[in-house]
Amino acid sequence: MGLISNGTTIFDNGSMASGFSDDLKFISKATASASLSVDITSGIDSTYKEYIFMFNNIHPSNDDITFHFQANASGGSGFNETITSTQFRATHGEDGSSASLDYLTGADQAQGTSYQLLAGSVGSDNDQGVSGYLHIFNPADTTFVKHFFGAFQSIAHSNRCNYQQVAGYFNTTSALDEFSFKFSSGTVDSGDIILFGVS
C-alpha cells in the first residue's frame, strides 16, 4: 500500500488507482538492430482514435544525422503522404555554451511528401541518441485529415542537448495504417519503438 497526501488528507493510492481505467493499451514493440528503417505495418486501425509511438534510446550508426518519419495510406506504398508541419527547437551545450530557442524553417513542410524531421543533428557516440513520443490522431478516419504532434530529446553530435517539438497533419482523407521511422543515412543501430492505443 502506498500513501499520498493533498496537504491535509492522506489517501491510499492503491484504492484510488482502482477507480481509474487503463487508458493506454500496449499494441507492439519493435526493437531495431542495424535496421535501415523501423516500419510499423500492423496494429493501426479503427480500434483507437489516438495512437502513441514511444521512442526509447534510438541510436544511429552514423554521426550528425536526422531522425524522421512518414506514413502510407491503406493499400499504398512508398511512404510519401502529403504533410504540412511546423517545428521548433530548444538547445544548450554540455559546456554551457549558448542556449537558444528557434523556429526551424528547414524542418517544416508545406504540402511536402518527404520524411518529416523529428530530431536533427543526432550524434552516434554511446552517450548520444534520441528518445521521445509521437501522437497520431484518428488515422483510420476516411473523412478528415490526420493530425500529429510529438516531442523529442536528443544529444547532438556537437554534445548539445536538443529538445524539438513537431506538429502537423497528413493532408489526406484516406486511412493511414503504416508508419516508417529512419535516420537520414546509415542504420538504426538499436532502440525500441513501442506502440500504444489510447482508449
pTM of the model: 0.88
| Tens-digit pLDDT profile for residues 110-130 | 999 999 999 999 999 999 999
| Tens-digit pLDDT profile for residues 10-50 | 544 554 444 445 799 999 999 999 999 999 999 999 999 99
- The reported pLDDT for the residue numbered 98 is 82
Specify the number of domains making up the chain: 1
Domain holding 123, by residue range, is: 29-198
Length of the chain (residues): 199
Give the span between the Cα atoms of 70 and 196, in whole angstroms: 18
- The phi, psi pair for 46, rounded to 5°, reads -85, 5
Q: How confident is the model at residue 1 (pLDDT cuts 50, 70, 90)?
A: very low
Q: Give the domain CATH number at 91.
A: 2.60.120
Give the sign of the dihedral formed by CA 59, CA 65, CA 71, CA 72.
negative
**In a domain? residue 18:** no
Percent pLDDT > 70 in the chain is 89
| Tens-digit pLDDT profile for residues 47-106 | 999 999 999 999 999 999 999 999 999 999 999 999 999 999 999 999 998 899 999 999
| Tens-digit pLDDT profile for residues 128-156 | 999 999 999 999 999 999 999 999 999 99
User: Residue 175 gets which letter from DSSP?
Assistant: P
**In a domain? residue 10:** no
**In a domain? residue 19:** no
- The reported pLDDT for the residue numbered 20 is 46
Q: Say how many C-beta atoms besides its own lie within 10 A of residue 143's C-beta.
A: 6
**In a domain? residue 74:** yes
